[in-house]
Structure 1
Amino acid sequence: MTRTMTDPRTPHSAWTRLTEPTLVRRSVVSVVLAFVLVWAVLLGYIFITYKHTITNDPGLQKYGDALLVSLQDLTDPAHAAAAIASTETWTYIRRRQSGIFPGKTLHALSDAAGNPVFASPELKTLNLPPRQPQAVGVITEASAQGSVYRIYTGHNARWALQVFEPKRTDAAFLAYNGRFILPYLLLAMPFVLVPVWLSVRNGLKPLQQLASRIARRNTDDLQPVGFNARHRELKPLEQSLDTLLARMRQKVERERAFVQDAAHEIRTPLAVITAQAHVMARSQIEEERTQAQAHMEQAIARTSHLAQQLLDLAALDEAQRPAPRDLDVAQWLRAALAQAVPQAMARQIELSLDAPDTLPTRLDLPALESIVHNLIDNAVRYTTAGGNVAVGLRQDGALLHLVVQDDGPGIPFTERSRVFERFYRGLGHAANGSGLGLAIVRQAALRMGGQVQIGEGLSGQGVGFFVGIPLPHSA
């Protein structure tokens, strides 16, 4: 079976590279969209100005008034008709030359008695309404054959004049002015796009250098980036990367130390098991074989306990947490304490519980089990024979308090700051332990959002552990 390698220069790869989103392309597209917005705003401004001009300063009104003034000295109707005809022809030529205004301006002239003097031939087919007396001096509008005409009506002592001007539609006005503005924007666009493209490309160079520096690093290199960013925008990124690498470095160091300590702790009972198994296989004395079997069973139990605690600690270190469960903490604690009764009775230790009859709430049960079982096991294990272990439970507002105290030998103040470290075992204790119990308690309390503190034990002796766990609002 052969494997085909993809050449990075193939058309498919080139197309992928071309269509891949980039910050430079995004900036250029943003500028293009800004130009489109400017074009739309300018076109809207011109359109609003046009509407305002037509309403408040109509050119048709000025044109009609000026034409009446030019006719007032003419007394011969033929001369007046010729003047109107000449003006109409000139106006039509100018409108065509400009290419802006549609159609032809039409005129109708009559004398003071109302006798027609001149009328554009097109007026017969348009069938536009006649002049209304009340419309004199006012620009009106009328529709004819699908077109809208703006109509001027005016008169003087000799003549009455009507001017019919085809009105440009809003769509025609916007189309013409849109085409008029566009070349100017297209001319200006390269002078804006090129500097933007160059500035963005130049601005991204430090970021690309940072990415290249990180890409060249070894996979095991968790030292600070060492980029020494000069730009204010890159400093938070560099600081965040250095902080992340420092956290990862600490985590790797903790895990490496944890593995080494775990290997060291497991090595001791395994060596005992190996030695005792050798004694059992070689010794001919029944008493030695029996003693070796007992020592081997103790080593196996210790190894099993250590393995379980390692699993518990690994489960508490996981980011994914189980869903809280509804339970009666007081009843559950009574059942948990009952499991420690045989071990306490074997050492003549009195267990006591101070808790309400019922205390329903919602909690992370596996984490709570880790806290209770390890604290009670430690108290029973390290308290001297004939001693006392007291467990207390109460709710104070939104906080659940759990207390485990004993009157044993206690923990010196010089060691109390280290008892929650993994694999740390204090000096002067006859009982064997893995040094993980209190580390599990602290990790479980942290996972539940609480904390554990060490304090005084019973009657001024021993030691006490005080756990505070926040309760959900629904509790």
Structure 2
Amino acid sequence: MSARTTLRARWQRLAEPTLVRRSVVSVLLAFVLVWGVLLCYIFMTYKHTITNDPGLQKYGDALLVSLQDVTNPAHAAAAIDSTETWTYIRRRQIGIFPGKTLHALSDADGNPVFASHELKTLNLPPRHPEAVGVITEAIAEGTVYRIYTGHNARWALQVFEPKRTDAAFLAYNGRFILPYLLLAMPFVLVPVWLSVRNGLKPLQQLASRIARRNNDDLQPVGFDAQHRELKPLEQSLDTLLARMRQKVERERAFVQDAAHEIRTPLAVITAQAHVMARSQSEAERTQAQAHLEQAIARTSHLAQQLLDLAALDEAQRPTPRDLDVAQWLRAALAQAAPRAMARQIELSLDAPDSLTTRLDLPALESVVHNLLDNAVRYSLAGGTVAVGLRVDDGGTTLQLAVQDDGPGIPAAEQGKVFERFYRGPGHAASSGSHNDAGHATNGSGLGLAIVRQAALRMGGQVRLGQGLGGRGVGFFVEIPLAARRG
């Protein structure tokens, strides 16, 4: 493996999403969010403070109080000059306040006592009597100044403080908060990382246990989950494996039964073909040909039913289509009529003139054709087969019934008739058995299994019930309707 390939593989591994990395990134994003929330809170507090409780107002009032006992203008000017110098030094030491605070002092008669040198060039507005006790703002040379105006019995004072911009305030406080968050971050990230890593260990153990299993091992996982959050996963896996185990067992039995069923007609075909090739008697050849055709028909029927059952077992379902079920059912009975007439069986239909809804047509065909074939094939000659179609009172379920007045199915066999390749003991077509597997020549034992599987694919069910006049047997299919029209 080349160095480039190795590097690419490592990069792909690093770029692969992981729950640990996702949790750590989530915590980092949470820290960023906390940083932003704190910064917004400090900014709103700052805005509220300078509006409702301005420090400049307190500063100016304190200066006037300190000067109220000073009578000498020179002393007052020296005090203001000293205060301005001290304030400037402190602002620079703190490093968060821009510029220099400027002062202007005059006596009660309005004579100037002190003025900062910068005021001569800034052209800031003079003192106005109506501005006393109110913080005003003015712009000079691109800088916004907050202006305090106050007076007492001896002196009138103005203080001009450069105002911090919102951007400067946010930048400073953002840098101020960041180190504290960075300091706290490892104490949060490390426990989160360890917690997620340790929390994922049971999942990794479960994955390792499953990876070590053989391909055909469908036994329960056998993982004793100690954590409540993992128990549903373990139970779901065991349930899935159980369903797969049952499905594999069914398919294995199905393949074995299918092989056995196909072996019989193939043996008949081989034997009768041998008779036709070797026999010198025309009668024997004619009889062998009849048996051969019968075996071929049985094999063809079995193969078609195997294909039908395999199609119904597929997970993907066709899109339901709009269908007039009543008219379609009349056509299906017309197709079955010649076989029924050959055995002098009367077919009847009780259905509305029209019943349009959306259904899975291939599944419906499998249900109706197999039930009709079963009823006509195993009813007694001269009997009756009644088909009923209706929708329940709520309009949510399609109900199909196929009943006859034949000998019926013994109670001991009724629970098994829907199993694949099931044959009732000693049943044949002439005896009227409804288990189509019972006929040694034509039955395959798949018809009713196909009916059940088709009903399940449509979300419905099929059950056995009473036949006509207290005799025979009835098959009742219920199919939920997603939408009904007409």
Q: Does 1:292 align with 2:288?
A: yes
Equivalent residue runs for 1:15-30 within 5 Å: 15-30=11-26
CA contact (8 A) 1:8 1:14 kept: no
**Stretches of 4+ aligned residues off by more than 3 angstroms:** 5-9
- Residue of structure 2 in register with 1:355 after alignment: 351
Deviations along 1:121-149, one digit per CA (max 9) or x if unpaired, are 11121111111101112221111111111
- Residue of structure 1 in register with 2:156 after alignment: 160
**One-letter amino acid of the structure 1 residue matched with residue 276 of structure 2:** M
- Residue of structure 1 in register with 2:475 after alignment: 465
Give the Cα separation in 2 of the matches to 1:73 and 1:331: 114
- Residue of structure 1 in register with 2:243 after alignment: 247
- Residue of structure 2 in register with 1:413 after alignment: 411
- Residue of structure 1 in register with 2:71 after alignment: 75
Q: Does 1:50 align with 2:46?
A: yes
- Residue of structure 2 in register with 1:122 after alignment: 118
Question: Does the residue aligned with 1:180 lie in a helix, a strand or coil?
Answer: helix
Give the Cα separation in 1 of the matches to 2:392 and 2:87: 96
Give the Cα separation in 2 of the matches to 1:425 and 1:350: 26
Give the Cα separation in 1 of the matches to 2:66 and 2:349: 118
Question: Does the residue aligned with 1:401 lie in a helix, a strand or coil?
Answer: strand
**One-letter amino acid of the structure 1 residue matched with residue 416 of structure 2:** R
Q: Does 1:100 align with 2:96?
A: yes
**Which 10-residue stretch deviates more, 273-282 or 191-200?**
191-200
Question: Does the residue aligned with 2:415 lie in a helix, a strand or coil?
Answer: coil
- Residue of structure 1 in register with 2:462 after alignment: 452
1:110 shift after superposition: 1.2
2:423 to 421, 425, 440: 425
Give the Cα separation in 1 of the matches to 2:460 and 2:405: 25
**One-letter amino acid of the structure 2 residue matched with residue 380 of structure 1:** V
Deviations along 1:146-178, one digit per CA (max 9) or x if unpaired, are 111111111122211111111111111111111
CA contact (8 A) 1:383 1:407 kept: yes
CA contact (8 A) 1:348 1:385 kept: yes
The alpha-carbon distance between structure 1 residues 66 and 461, as it changes in their structure 2 partners (threshold 3 A), is closer
- Residue of structure 2 in register with 1:438 after alignment: 448
- Residue of structure 1 in register with 2:328 after alignment: 332
Give the Cα separation in 1 of the matches to 2:71 and 2:259: 126
Structure 2 residue runs without a partner (length 5+): 430-438
Deviations along 1:234-277, one digit per CA (max 9) or x if unpaired, are 11111111111111000000000111111111110000000000
The alpha-carbon distance between structure 1 residues 200 and 426, as it changes in their structure 2 partners (threshold 3 A), is same
**One-letter amino acid of the structure 2 residue matched with residue 281 of structure 1:** A
**Which 10-residue stretch deviates more, 277-286 or 382-391?**
382-391
CA contact (8 A) 1:382 1:429 kept: no
1:473 shift after superposition: 2.4
1:343 to 334, 339, 342: 339
**One-letter amino acid of the structure 1 residue matched with residue 423 of structure 2:** R
1:417 shift after superposition: 0.9
Question: Does the residue aligned with 1:408 lie in a helix, a strand or coil?
Answer: coil
- Residue of structure 2 in register with 1:86 after alignment: 82
Identity of aligned residues (%): 86
Give the Cα separation in 2 of the matches to 1:346 and 1:71: 130
Question: Does the residue aligned with 2:413 lie in a helix, a strand or coil?
Answer: coil
- Residue of structure 1 in register with 2:388 after alignment: 392
Q: Does 1:141 align with 2:137?
A: yes
1:132 to 128, 132, 143: 128
Give the Cα separation in 1 of the matches to 2:379 and 2:332: 19
CA contact (8 A) 2:358 2:483 kept: no
1:71 shift after superposition: 2.3
**One-letter amino acid of the structure 2 residue matched with residue 448 of structure 1:** M
Structure 1 residue runs without a partner (length 5+): none
Question: Does the residue aligned with 2:465 lie in a helix, a strand or coil?
Answer: strand
Deviations along 1:39-75, one digit per CA (max 9) or x if unpaired, are 2222222222222322233222222222222223333
**Which 10-residue stretch deviates more, 245-254 or 55-64?**
55-64
1:10 to 6, 13, 22: 6
CA contact (8 A) 2:356 2:484 kept: no
1:7 shift after superposition: 7.8
TM-score by length of 2: 0.93
1:302 shift after superposition: 0.3
Question: Does the residue aligned with 1:10 lie in a helix, a strand or coil?
Answer: helix
Deviations along 1:252-308, one digit per CA (max 9) or x if unpaired, are 000001111111111100000000001111111111111001000000000000011
Give the Cα separation in 2 of the matches to 1:345 and 1:474: 35
Give the Cα separation in 2 of the matches to 1:199 and 1:463: 64
Give the Cα separation in 2 of the matches to 1:462 and 1:367: 25
The alpha-carbon distance between structure 1 residues 461 and 130, as it changes in their structure 2 partners (threshold 3 A), is same
1:429 shift after superposition: 2.6
Deviations along 1:303-358, one digit per CA (max 9) or x if unpaired, are 00001111111111112112222232222222211222222222222222222333
**Which 10-residue stretch deviates more, 227-236 or 290-299?**
227-236
**Which 10-residue stretch deviates more, 198-207 or 252-261?**
198-207
Give the Cα separation in 2 of the matches to 1:144 and 1:7: 65
**One-letter amino acid of the structure 2 residue matched with residue 418 of structure 1:** K
CA contact (8 A) 2:148 2:158 kept: yes
1:308 to 294, 299, 304: 304
Give the Cα separation in 1 of the matches to 2:356 and 2:82: 104
1:455 shift after superposition: 1.6
1:9 shift after superposition: 8.1
Deviations along 1:83-134, one digit per CA (max 9) or x if unpaired, are 2222212211121111111101111111111111211111121111111101
Deviations along 1:417-471, one digit per CA (max 9) or x if unpaired, are 1111111122343222111111111111111222222122222222111222222
**One-letter amino acid of the structure 2 residue matched with residue 220 of structure 1:** D
- Residue of structure 1 in register with 2:35 after alignment: 39
- Residue of structure 2 in register with 1:267 after alignment: 263
**Which 10-residue stretch deviates more, 243-252 or 343-352?**
343-352
The alpha-carbon distance between structure 1 residues 166 and 225, as it changes in their structure 2 partners (threshold 3 A), is same
TM-score by length of 1: 0.95
